[in-house]
Amino acid sequence: MVSYSQMTYAQRGEQHSHPLVKQLFATMERKKSNLSLAADVSTKAELLGLADKVGPYVCVFKTHVDVISDFDSDLVDQLAALAAKHDFLIFEDRKFADIGNTVKLQYGGGMYRIADWAHITNCHVIPGEGIIQGLAEVGMPKGRGLLLLAEMSSKGMLATGAYTEKNVDMAIANEFVIGFIGSRRFTEERDLITMTPGVGLHASGDALGQQYRTPEMIVTENGSDIIIVGRGIYGAGKDPIAEAQRYREAGWNAYLKRLAQ
């Protein structure tokens, strides 16, 4: 059998059973982008400004809504409009980590109502499979998708070995799971996407344990599908449009190189 990492995004989209993943692969192919922006800014205006500027170059726009100081429901309405205008999906990087009943409340309700507007969210499986079931009860009827944090990018992270393998088993067994946060392709058993943070063209890390690898290491060598880039694009002194274009090209070339291998 051909490995998923040897197939084009278009081919994978055509044969995928999850409508959201089909949409994601189609977007990636249309925009020639496997780039996700990690928009870790602290105001509504900055977030919407970035989404409008960088939106044309990304397949996924990743948020941390709980760092926005002036969050309101108009922010998500405007973000949804920009997602439609620029053809990207929204990923709220909430990293749920509680028991099933609690995450159901956190995902569907509260002031953020994440399930109403985020196409994708993620969770740790430390509480066991009930967390996936709780999130699925809210997200499945809305056509959403979940990523499991099978690994992390930071120094000394504890998601390794048997814990990572458990993530893979749970992902295969749960329809609501569309993939992983991690550094590589994890399984051929079904087509689960990997999105990788900790990507930089230059920097090797930050002062708080973040570690960066290049798009080529991640996509060509490790078989990951989507690169997540934050400060490499909007960091101090950077032109976000020029950097987004650069990362988009680097990510896409790394994918083309993988296909050619």
Burial class (CB in 10 A: 0-12, 13-18, 19+), 59: buried
Residue 246: DSSP 8-state:
H
Rounded-to-integer distance, Cα 192 and Cα 140, Å: 16
Nearer to ligand 6AU, 108 or 232 (CB): 232
Kindly indicate which of the ranges 26-34, 131-139, 149-157, 161-169 contains the residues binding ligand 6AU, using the contact rule CB under 6 A.
149-157
- Record the tokens describing residue 162, joined without a space: 């048997």
Name the 3-class secondary structure at 42.
coil
Catalytic site residue from 95, 116, 166, 257: 95
Q: Which long-range contacts (CB under 8 A, 24 or more apart) does 183-189 make?
A: 183/151, 183/153, 183/213, 183/218, 183/222, 183/224, 184/218, 184/222, 184/223, 184/224, 185/3, 185/4, 185/5, 185/222, 185/223, 185/224, 185/225, 186/150, 188/1, 188/3, 188/4
- When binding is defined by CB under 6 A, the residue of 21, 28, 229, 254 that contacts ligand 6AU is 229
Closer CB to ligand 6AU, 40 or 221, in the complex? 40
Query: Which of residues 21 and 150 has its CB atom nearest to ligand 6AU in the complex?
Result: 150
* H helix or E strand, kind and range, residue 54: helix 44-54
CB crowding 212-223: b at 16 or more within 10 Å, else e: bbbbbbbbbebb
Tell me the window of 6-14, 22-30, 152-160, 217-225 that interacts with ligand 6AU (CB under 6 A).
152-160
Work out how close the CB of 40 gets to ligand 6AU at its nearest, in angstroms, rounded to a whole number: 5
Alpha helices in 69-194 (DSSP H): 73-86, 100-108, 114-117, 130-139, 161-173
Active site residue 32: no
Size of the site for ligand 6AU (CB under 6 A): 17
Catalytic residue among 93, 104, 191, 225: 93
| Nearest in space to 195 (alpha carbons), one of 158, 154, 152 | 152
Is 74 a residue of the active site? no
Active-site annotation holds for 93: yes
47 binds ligand 6AU (CB under 6 A): no
- The minimum distance between CB 6 and ligand 6AU, in angstroms, equals 25
User: Contacting ligand 6AU (CB under 6 A), which of 28, 228, 250, 254?
Assistant: 228
Q: Which of 5, 106, 122, 164 binds ligand 6AU (CB under 6 A)?
A: 122
Task: Choose the catalytic residue: 52, 98, 116, 206.
Answer: 98
Instruction: Please state the closest distance from residue 95 (CB atom) to ligand 6AU, in A.
Output: 6
Q: Which of 100, 145, 215, 230 binds ligand 6AU (CB under 6 A)?
A: 230
Query: Which residues does the annotation mark as catalytic?
Result: 93, 95, 98
Sites of contact with ligand 6AU (CB under 6 A): 38, 40, 64, 93, 122, 152-154, 181, 197-198, 210, 228-232
